[in-house]
Amino acid sequence: MTSENQPKAGHRGIPISTEFREFMASGWATDDRAPAPRAEVADHAARRRAAVSERFPGERLVIPGGGLKVRSNDTDYTFRPHTAFAHLSGLGAHAEPDSVLVLDPSPEGGHHAVLYFRPPAPRDTEEFYIDSRYGEFWVGSRRTIADVESELGLTARHIDELPADLAKDEAAARLRVVRSADPRLAELVDTTRVQAGTSLTVEEQEEADEELACHLSGMRIVKDEWEVGEMRTAIAATHKGFEAIIATLPEAVRKGRGERWVEGIFGLYARHEGNGVGYESICASGDHANTIHWTRNTGEVREGDLILVDAGIEIDSLFTADITRTLPVTGRFTDVQRKIYDAVHEAQQAGLAAVKPGNRFSDIHAAANEVVARHLHEWGLLPEGVTLEQTLDPENGGWHRRWMVHGTSHHLGMDVHDCQLLLREEYMDGELRPGMILTVEPGLYFKADDLLAPEEFRGIGVRIEDDVLVTEDGCENLSAAMPSASYEVEEWIARVSDPAANR
C-alpha cells in the first residue's frame, strides 16, 4: 500500500515504494566539479544589460526565456530560448527551459541582474528520477546555481523564488515583461502589477510591455566585434554545409526524393558544426524554386534542373547565417538558365553596392529592383506600353514584381529576420550604420504555369543571397568565399565534386 503523500504509479511503471526511493537516493558519487569558468560572452551581455538599464530606470524588467513546447503527447520540441533572453543573459543553446532574467532596480541606481531557473534537484528527490522533463536521470547533467553565477557573472536563484521577488517593494507596480516570450509568466506579471496597485490601465500596461520588447529587438541592430565574430563562425560553418550538398548532388539524383536528401545532408552539418539550422531549410529543385518558402522539400532532384538552397547554420550562441545559392544539378547552366541567373547576379551586385553608411535600408531593394525591372523590360515581359520608369514608380507601378515578389534584404543576427519589431521608419527607412549585418537576396521566379513568361523560362527560379556587414566606408560580404557568379559556381561544383582533378 502507498501512503497519501506518495505519488501514484504512472504508465512508465517506475516503482514508488519508500524502499525504492531510498535505494535510488543512495550510491551516487559526490559532485566535486568546480563551477563553470566565466564565459567570453559574459562581459558583452553585461554591457547590453547596462544599456537597457539606462533606458528603463527604476523599473523591474522581466525577460523570460520561454518554456518547452509540446510536439506530441509527452514529447517536446527542442528548446530554443527567446532571443531577447539569450542576448541579455549570454545563454545560448544550453539555456534551461523556464528560465527568467530579471533586471531589478537598485536603490543606488541602475539594475541588478538576477537569473531565475530550475537547477538540478538533489538525488534524494523524486524529480531526479521521475521527472522526464527536468530530472537529470532523464535529461542529463544541468547547470547549478554556482555554475550560472560563475559563468555569467550575475546572481542566480531558484525559479520558485520568482513570484515573491517580483512582488517585493514598490517596484512591483513598475513591472515590464516581454509578453510573447512566455504567456504564463505574462499573466503572473499582470496579477502582480494589479496587486501592487499600479496606476496604469490594462492598455497602458500592454503598451509598456510592447515598448520594452521593441527596444530589446532594436538594440541588436548594430553588432559589436564579438557578435560579428560569431556571425563569421556561423557563415563559415554554412559554407561547409553547402559544399557537402554539392558533393552529394549525384546521390540526391540517384536516390530519389532528392530534396529531402539535400535537406538531411545540410542538417547533419548544422548539428555537427553548430546548434542546428537557423530556420527551416529551403531545398527547392526545378519549379519548386518558384515557391518562395518551399520548406516541404519532398521533390525529386533531376539532372538538368537548378536547385535553390536557402539555408543557414545557427551556432551555439544562436547567431545564424542565411545564405542562398542556386546550383545547376549537373554542374553547368544551360543558356537560358545562365541568362536568368546572370540577371539576378547583376541585381545582387547592384544591391551590394548600395550597402554603405548613410544610405537607407530601402536603397538596397531599390538598386536591385532597378536591374531586375530593366532585364524584364528588355526581355519584353512587361505589359505593352509600360516603360521602365513606370514599373519602377513605387506608388503606381510594380509590374516587374510579378517575378520578384519579395524584399531584397533583411537584418540578420540571432534571429534570421532580426530586429523585426522595429517601426518602419527605423527599419525600412532607417539609415545604414557600421556594424549592421544584413542580407542581399534578389531573385527571379518563373512558375511553370505562368503563361506571361516565355515558355523557355517557365519552371526556372533563381535567388542569390549573401550576408553583408556594413563597414565605415562601405560593406564587407561575409559570405564572399562562397562563389556566386555563374562561371564561379560551375568551377566551384567541379572543384568540390572532384577534388583530385583540381590538385
Q: For the residues 5-13, what does the mean pLDDT come to? A: 50
Residue 4 confidence (pLDDT): 38
Q: Coil, helix or strand for 309?
A: strand
Q: For the residues 142-156, what does the mean pLDDT come to? A: 95
User: How distant is the alpha carbon of residue 449 from its chain centre?
Assistant: 33
Instruction: Label residue 11 by pLDDT band (50, 70, 90).
Output: low
pLDDT above 90: residue 6: no
Intra-chain end-to-end CA distance of the chain, in Å:
75
User: How distant is the alpha carbon of residue 481 from its chain centre?
Assistant: 22
pLDDT above 70: residue 10: no
Residue 129 confidence (pLDDT): 87
DSSP label at residue 80:
-
pLDDT above 50: residue 2: no
Residues 381-387: contacts with CB under 8 Å, at least 24 apart: 381/452, 381/453, 381/454
User: What is the model's pTM?
Assistant: 0.94
Q: Write down the residue that cell numbers 542576448 correspond to.
A: 87
pLDDT above 60: residue 349: yes
For the stretch 113-130, pLDDT in tens is: 999 999 999 988 888 988
Q: Judge contact between 180 and 27, C-beta under 8 A.
A: no
Q: Write down the residue that cell numbers 559544399 correspond to.
A: 243
For the stretch 417-469, pLDDT in tens is: 999 999 888 999 999 999 999 999 999 999 999 999 999 999 999 999 999 99
Give residues with Cβ within 8 angstroms of 315, minimum separation 6.
Answer: 92, 230, 233, 234, 237, 273, 274, 275
Of 409, 410, 389, 411, give the one whose Cα is nearest residue 400: 389
The CATH homologous superfamily of the domain defined by 225-502: Creatinase/methionine aminopeptidase superfamily (3.90.230.10)
Residue 12 confidence (pLDDT): 62
Hey, how many other C-beta atoms are within 10 angstroms of the C-beta on 109? 10
Q: Judge contact between 361 and 407, C-beta under 8 A.
A: no
CATH of 18-218, one of 3.40.50.1370, 3.40.50.720, 3.40.350.10, 3.30.9.10: 3.40.350.10
User: What amino acid is encoded at 233 in this protein?
Assistant: T
- Spell out the domain ranges in the chain: 18-218, 225-502
Q: For the residues 62-85, what does the mean pLDDT come to? A: 95
Hey, how many other C-beta atoms are within 10 angstroms of the C-beta on 204? 11
Please name every residue paired with 477 in a beta bridge, in sequence order, or none if there are none: 468
Q: Judge contact between 220 and 87, C-beta under 8 A.
A: yes
Q: For the residues 478-490, what does the mean pLDDT come to? A: 98
Residue 502 confidence (pLDDT): 53
335-353 and 486-497 helices cross at what angle (nearest 10)?
A: 110
d(CA 242, CA 262): 9
Q: For the residues 246-272, what does the mean pLDDT come to? A: 98
d(CA 223, CA 225): 7
Q: Judge contact between 223 and 414, C-beta under 8 A.
A: no
Residue 7 confidence (pLDDT): 44
Of 289, 285, 282, give the one whose Cα is nearest residue 310: 282
Q: Coil, helix or strand for 293?
A: coil
Give residues with Cβ within 8 angstroms of 381, minimum separation 6.
Answer: 400, 403, 452, 453, 454
Q: Judge contact between 352 and 467, C-beta under 8 A.
A: no
d(CA 242, CA 248): 10
